[in-house]
């Protein structure tokens, strides 16, 4: 494991600590093969600089990322999808059809998470940093 919580696995797979809640609590995955990449889960919007940093550290151009796949639409797994896609000009988002509307308009997800955590805690967990 690297100092930033990254773990290099076989077959071109890297786990990336998203920084959500506490170290090693939530991860995104980078898969690289034949010069193209996919990112599985994004973490929250606050995780996007970490993901872009790993791409830069590994010498992977943002244009080499072809897919961003979200396993489900909870904000700690898919909250950064929109922001991340702004930096990946060739990437396509892969999401279950029932989740697509939540990513297009996350207002209900945000309202639900705010109701669970309260406004202050929600901002601490999900706000965009940096």
Q: Is 48 exposed, middle or buried (0-12, 13-18, 19+ CB in 10 A)?
A: buried
49 three-state secondary structure: helix
- Inside any domain, residue 2: no
Closest CA to 65 of 55, 73, 75, 77: 55
| Mean pLDDT of the region 79-90 | 96
CATH number at residue 81: 3.60.15.10
- Inside any domain, residue 112: yes
Chain-centroid distance of CA 37 in Å reads 14
- Inside any domain, residue 59: yes
User: Residue 122 belongs to what domain range?
Assistant: 7-126
Q: CA-CA-CA-CA torsion for 99, 85, 10, 60, nearest 10 degrees?
A: 170
Tokens found for residue 28: 């995104």
% of the chain with per-residue pLDDT over 70: 98
CA atoms within 13 A on the CB side of 111: 5
At residue 61, the pLDDT reads 98
Number of domains observed in the structure of the chain: 1
- Inside any domain, residue 1: no
- pLDDT one-digit tens code per residue, 21-74: 888 889 999 999 999 999 999 999 999 999 999 999 999 999 999 999 999 999
- Inside any domain, residue 30: yes
Mean pLDDT of the chain: 93
């Amino acid at each position: 494991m690297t100092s930033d919580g990254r773990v290099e696995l076989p077959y071109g797979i890297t786990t990336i600590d998203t920084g959500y809640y506490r170290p090693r609590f939530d991860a995104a995955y980078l898969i690289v093969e034949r010069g193209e990449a996919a990112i599985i889960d994004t973490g929250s919007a606050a995780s996007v600089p970490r993901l872009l940093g790993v791409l830069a550290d590994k010498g992977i151009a943002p244009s080499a990322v072809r897919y961003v796949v979200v396993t489900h639409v909870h904000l700690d797994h898919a909250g950064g999808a929109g922001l991340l896609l702004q930096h990946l000009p060739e990437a396509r988002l892969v999401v279950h059809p029932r989740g697509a509307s939540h990513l297009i308009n996350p207002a209900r997800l945000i309202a639900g998470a705010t109701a669970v955590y309260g406004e202050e805690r929600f901002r601490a967990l999900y706000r965009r940093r940096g």
